[in-house]
Amino acid sequence: MSALFSSFRLRSQTFRNRIFVSPMCQYSSIDGFPTAWHLVHLGSRAVGGAGLVMMEATAVSPEGRISPGDQGLWSDEHGEALKPIVHFIRSQGAAAGVQIAHAGRKASTDAPWRGGGPLSQAEGGWSVIAPSPVPFATNHPRPEACREADLRRIVTDFTHAARRAHEAGFDVLELHMAHGYLLHEFLSPLANRRDDRYGGRLENRLRLPLEVTDAVREVWPETKPLFVRLSATDWVDGGWDVEQSLVLARELKNRGVDLIDCSSGGMVPDAKIPAGPGYQTPFATRVRTDVGIAVGAVGLINEPLQAEQIVRTNLADCVFLGRELLRDPYWPLHAARALHSDEKWPVQYERARP
């Protein structure tokens, strides 16, 4: 029996298999509201057999968007608009997840297909905030350092977004602490130069991410799993690294987080990342082994046998696929055939089953 296609349970949620859709920004929302694109995009991955379909980084506030086209969850109306998408995902046998985020100093940028550069206010951009007034890159604006009132509002915004995610029917919630966005910025010495209780030594740099985690776990139902996406390393000397990630992972486990989604990078534009097949999987394995928490592996996992080996040999509990599922929404169904697993096809497609 395929390990990749075995069921996986966290709290009261049982996933039909270990293939999870990574949250991937589509830059196609209007004022933070989903469009037909999101229903088709996410719905196709549910039809295609994934165990969990995770919605893209969804901003907890308008200024927390990466781009003007980002999905949002800063009002009850946004939550209502997501209900049909959640309903369809679940109707196809997949769990529905959403990642909530604040882009910090990487906010107010254009869509990638228009260059992805920072937007001026004349172009529809806005002022950005960060732990310290350190820009992401030379062509990015100098962010405003978060004040105490900003920090309290950020915690509140994440809390309200979590409540709305529950009310919209999502089964899984993920906190975005990776890829150089706001919570990761507080973790990394490369972006966090503060000299107050939110900066300096590791205990202080963990403070805001852990305050967000505590507040969210209070409102996110006890029966539902909570994930965290973490950049295990900045790939830069003097930045965030694996050893610090292990300290954070232990704290997250103690606060009711159920799974660490192990990614890396994103803090600076010029990091030297040795990308290759499965290059981030060792981070997941290290967290799983040292901390004793469920983990997901992500990063250039493209082949069914590769994914099977990761799960079967306990390198990770599940795999998150990104670009491979953009290329082929039905990758899980094809992988099931390759691994001789009797995965259920949608009844509408049964007549095409090999």
Q: Which residues pair with 144 in a beta bridge?
A: 129
Instruction: Please tell me whether residue 30 adopts helix, strand or coil conformation.
Output: strand
Nearest partner of 182 among 217, 132, 255, 257, judged by Cα: 132
Q: How far apart are CA 250 and CA 252, in angstroms?
A: 5
**Catalytically annotated residue among 181, 198, 279, 330:** 181
Q: How far apart are CA 217 and CA 322, in angstroms?
A: 26
> Around Cβ 116, how many Cβ atoms within 10 Å?
12
Q: Which two tokens stand for residue 334?
A: 């094809």
Q: How far apart are CA 173 and CA 104, in angstroms?
A: 20
Q: Which residues pair with 52 in a beta bridge?
A: 20, 95
**In 245-271, which positions are buried (b, 16+ CB within 10 angstroms) versus exposed (e)?**
bbebbebbbeebbbbbbbbbbbbbeeb
Q: Which two tokens stand for residue 290?
A: 């040292």
Q: How far apart are CA 328 and CA 266, in angstroms?
A: 25
Judge contact between 4 and 339, C-beta under 8 A: yes
Burial class (CB in 10 A: 0-12, 13-18, 19+), 322: middle
Q: Which two tokens stand for residue 176?
A: 């975005």
Phi, psi of 21 (to 5 degrees): -85, 120
279 assigned to active site: no
Q: How far apart are CA 217 and CA 248, in angstroms?
A: 16
> Around Cβ 306, how many Cβ atoms within 10 Å?
16
Instruction: Write out the catalytic residue numbers.
Output: 181
